[in-house]
Amino acid sequence: MPELPEVEVTRRSFADAILGARVTGLRLGKPLRWPLGVDPETLLGARVGTVQRRGKYLWLPLEGAGGLLLHLGMSGSLAFLDTTPAPGAHDHFDLHTEHGLLRLTDPRRFGAVVWAAGLDAEPVATLLGGLGLEPFDARFDGLHLHARLSGRRVAIKQALLAGDIVVGAGNIYACEALFMAGIDPRLPAGKLSRPRADRLAMAVRGVLGQALEAGGTTLRDFRDAHGVAGSFQMQAQVYGREGEACRRCGTAIRRIVQGQRSTFFCPSCQKR
């Protein structure tokens, strides 16, 4: 579910509210992707610092007690609640604080909550270590993109999704960015020309920025920590539109499979 815009929208929706609150309790539901990695008791009383985002991960610092790395996987969402409803079947992590309850709901359980002593401590250092640049980092541009793609034979779509060059674009936004840049998703990454790399870098930033403004994409169940849905799905040009007319040229949008993921594109607007 959540790509960079959804994760960032989520972060913004509760970071201020939880800042400075002491941890008063912790409840674990069914196992998530990895074990928490710490005795929950040791986190009691710690103050929550400023929630940060790196790629699609959130880092929740606990002053004097390390911090928690959160990932929403495919189906995760966070809620920040004034009350304490009985946990549902898919509520697998509760962090009770003086300011409210932070609850992770994740039906598929590909998400994770992992403790580490710090951002540079294991296992967090390894998880974050291989990540590419943030899309809004000034260092991320066509030059960087072009250099990192050179010699690679994978399809450009898969190179974007891999997250080791630039983070944040998942299946929806990778498709949308390639449409915006007019690039065929099957193009071998190393064959992207420098001018087109410029366009693609701009498009990645542009699409993620638009999605952020729209509050993210709510295909089915994405909500921010206060239950607000996103609306970027209304602006999608290709994602989920197989067989429908391209909004730019009218050609039928195609769906193909790359690396076991659906790719949507306009065969006429997007060139090799």
Partner DNA sequence: CTGGGCTCCTGTCAGC
Partner DNA sequence: TGCTGACAGGAGCCCA
Q: Catalogue the active-site residues.
A: 2-3, 56, 261
**Residue of 178, 189, 253, 269 interacting with DNA (CB under 7 A):** 189
Q: Does 64 bind DNA (CB under 7 A)?
A: no
Instruction: Give the nearest distance from C-beta 46 to DNA in angstroms.
Output: 25
Distances (CA, A) of 117 to 29, 114, 142, 250, 264: 23, 10, 36, 54, 41
Size of the site for DNA (CB under 7 A): 46
- Restricted to residues 135-154, the positions that interact with DNA (CB under 7 A) are 151-154
The minimum distance between CB 77 and DNA, in angstroms, equals: 8
Helix (H/G/I), strand (E/B), else coil: 79: strand
Q: Is 108 in the site for DNA (CB under 7 A)?
A: yes
110 binds DNA (CB under 7 A): yes
The verdict on 132 binding DNA (CB under 7 A) reads no
CB 24 within 8 Å of CB 44 = yes
From the list 39-47, 71-79, 191-199, 245-253, the region that binds DNA by CB under 7 A is: 71-79
Q: Long-range contacts made by residues 116-125, C-beta under 8 angstroms, separation at least 24? A: 116/37, 116/66, 116/67, 116/69, 117/66, 118/66, 118/67, 119/59, 119/67, 121/66, 123/34, 123/37, 124/59, 124/69
Distance CA 51, CA 258 (A): 34
Work out which of 29, 100, 107, 142 binds DNA, going by CB under 7 A.
Answer: 107
Which residue among 19, 121, 219, 252 contacts DNA (CB under 7 A)? 219
Structure tokens at 10: 């989520």
**Closest listed residue to residue 69, CA positions, set 9, 104, 132, 119:** 119
For DNA, the binding residues (CB under 7 A) are: 1-3, 6, 30, 33, 55-57, 71, 73-75, 89-90, 107-110, 127, 130, 151-155, 158-159, 161, 163, 170-172, 189-190, 216-222, 259-262
